[in-house]
Amino acid sequence: MKTHSTKFLILVVIMSMTVYSCQNQSGEKVSQSTDEFFLEEISISEMQEAYRLGKYSITDVVKAYLDRIEAIDRNGPALNSIIQINPDALLIAKELDEELAAGNIRGPLHGIPVILKDNIDTHDKMPTTAGSRALKNSYPLQDSWVAKKFRDAGAIIIAKSNLSEWANFRADFSSSGWSGVGGQTKNPYVLDRNPCGSSSGSGVAVSANLCAIAIGTETNGSIVCPSTATGIVGFKPTVGLISRSGIIPISFTQDTPGPMGRTVEDVAICLGELVGIDPSDSKTLDSEGHSHTDYTKFLITDGLEGKRIGLMKDVMGFHYKVDVLMEETVEFLESQGAEVIELEWPGDKKYRQASFQVLLYEFKDGLNKYFSGLGNNAPVKSLEELIKFNIADSVELRHFDQEILELAQEKGDLDEQEYKESLLKMHSATREEGIDKLMDEHELDALIAPTGSPAWKTDLVNGDNFLGSSSSFAAISGYPNITVPMGFIDGLPVGVSFFGRAWSEPLLLEIAYGFEQGTKHRTAPGFLATDN
């Protein structure tokens, strides 16, 4: 087995083509078509109010978003965040308008345009690809849990978003936001900067106002990293709060879908529509008694008053300007009545390597089961066939290798001792001896840390340039994590993460909302060609 570099390990921990050549001078907007969009920064509740007053129809809104995708995602700045458009989006919008006119309002997501990461199955005219050319014509036999819940709630899935291929669990190194099907997604703030991943397209689509809300998936950092890089709110819930049925897997233990939006309120609305116990996903059984169908009731403006929050000092120091923003964040929290206690992680972080071993075993097992579930029409029927496909393809290995796929293929089944020992080690270190221990000893409501660094320049030769991240604590434990914008560094957004115990979504939303409402750091992107 190959000895892995530090850079590779960081990539695995964080998880997270059409190459754009900047012709404009530094700081110049690439396209004026991005200005004066009538839905820019609109919230879900504002959109519902507009429907109620007859200001817009659902069809008007869907058409406007589809036109905007054409104008700035495929043309103009060419963000390249969307892999495919739902050809039935306008037809669905018309049907929902008719329901609305008849007084049949399904709920807070009725008529709301959403975008799904393209590793989430939809049983419609859109394939589900995981960004892989091996699946570019793969049409699932049924909706995922997430897609079905959205359709039942009256939301409109208008498109599928680009992603780091196989949710960034493929290559020795990679460029986040690149896939064989979708090419390279760009950061909407500065186009030659990276959007992070693997839910790159979902983050960019929300930030650039191509939809109201989007869904990403996370194994380790793949919701929170693109959210911090694109200046939005991203919520990775406790594993099991939302079913993973119909999502192309990496890890049964760590995977979860989660909402990505421009506000904490929008994320809370979406979260409540997706929860529930799914017999097809045993992890959801643990959510009984811990889920809520309305998370907006936890959004109070003075939610920081009296909270005890632990600042994870040992994940700071990777960028001095990020540290300055964190210091300002702490000052604000304290000004609102919170008490902030400086802490460091108890023990070493060798659980990361244990987690990586678990992912390799579960990726092989889960992917082979997913292919089997596609039936006789599965384009590839095993991880082994996928590896062979990539070798023969003209695009898949042009920039990056497939070493993680090959390492996973070498693993045995889930009865092997290495797998069982690694699973026990990672959970013990991050739960009983990690987050739970810290919070018990210091009587904390939540932990905070910088989500990551400002976006780096996209580089298809050398791959990603991660400087730091705090995602692993919540990701490997399976606990919830929400990131909220906390400021800008040279025009690039940076977020702060609030995370804590299992099923503490209500408390984290309360804290995140109090911070968001008191700071209002979110600013729409400017689509600058480069910042040099």
Examine the residue annotation and report whether 175 is marked as an active-site residue of this protein.
no
C-alpha to C-alpha distance for 353 and 35, rounded to whole angstroms = 46
Report the candidate in 496, 483, 492, 497 with the shortest Cα–Cα distance to residue 457: 492
Strands (E), 288-398: 308-312, 339-343
**Catalytic residue chosen out of the listed positions 81, 117, 144, 243:** 117
CA distances 221 to 13, 210, 348, 373, Å, are 8, 23, 20, 27
Tokens 């989660």 appear where?
A: 258
The β-bridge partners of 261 are 233
Q: Percent helix, strand, coil in the chain (nearest 5)?
A: 40, 15, 45
Q: Please give the DSSP secondary-structure letter assigned to residue 247.
A: B
**Count of beta carbons in the 10 Å neighbourhood of residue 331:** 11
C-alpha to C-alpha distance for 458 and 183, rounded to whole angstroms = 12
**Catalytic residue chosen out of the listed positions 132, 222, 472, 497:** 222
Tokens 């979708």 appear where?
A: 182
**What burial letters (b/e) apply to 230-252, b meaning 16+ CB within 10 Å?**
bbbbbbbbbbbbbbbbbbbbbbb
C-alpha to C-alpha distance for 284 and 325, rounded to whole angstroms = 37
CA distances 306 to 327, 328, 446, 452, Å, are 19, 19, 12, 27
Q: Please give the DSSP secondary-structure letter assigned to residue 466.
A: -
Say if CB 508 and CB 500 are below 8 A apart.
yes
Q: Please give the DSSP secondary-structure letter assigned to residue 396.
A: T
* Tokens read off for 141: 């036999």
Q: Please give the DSSP secondary-structure letter assigned to residue 413.
A: -
Strand, coil or helix: 221: coil
Say if CB 507 and CB 445 are below 8 A apart.
yes
**Catalytic residue chosen out of the listed positions 81, 175, 179, 198:** 198
Q: How are beta strands 492-499 and 113-117 bridged, if at all?
A: unpaired
Examine the residue annotation and report whether 117 is marked as an active-site residue of this protein.
yes
CA distances 230 to 81, 317, 390, 461, Å, are 12, 22, 30, 23
C-alpha to C-alpha distance for 131 and 139, rounded to whole angstroms = 14
Examine the residue annotation and report whether 199 is marked as an active-site residue of this protein.
no
Q: How are beta strands 308-312 and 446-450 bridged, if at all?
A: parallel
The β-bridge partners of 488 are 493
C-alpha to C-alpha distance for 116 and 216, rounded to whole angstroms = 7
Which residues are known catalytic residues? 117, 198, 222
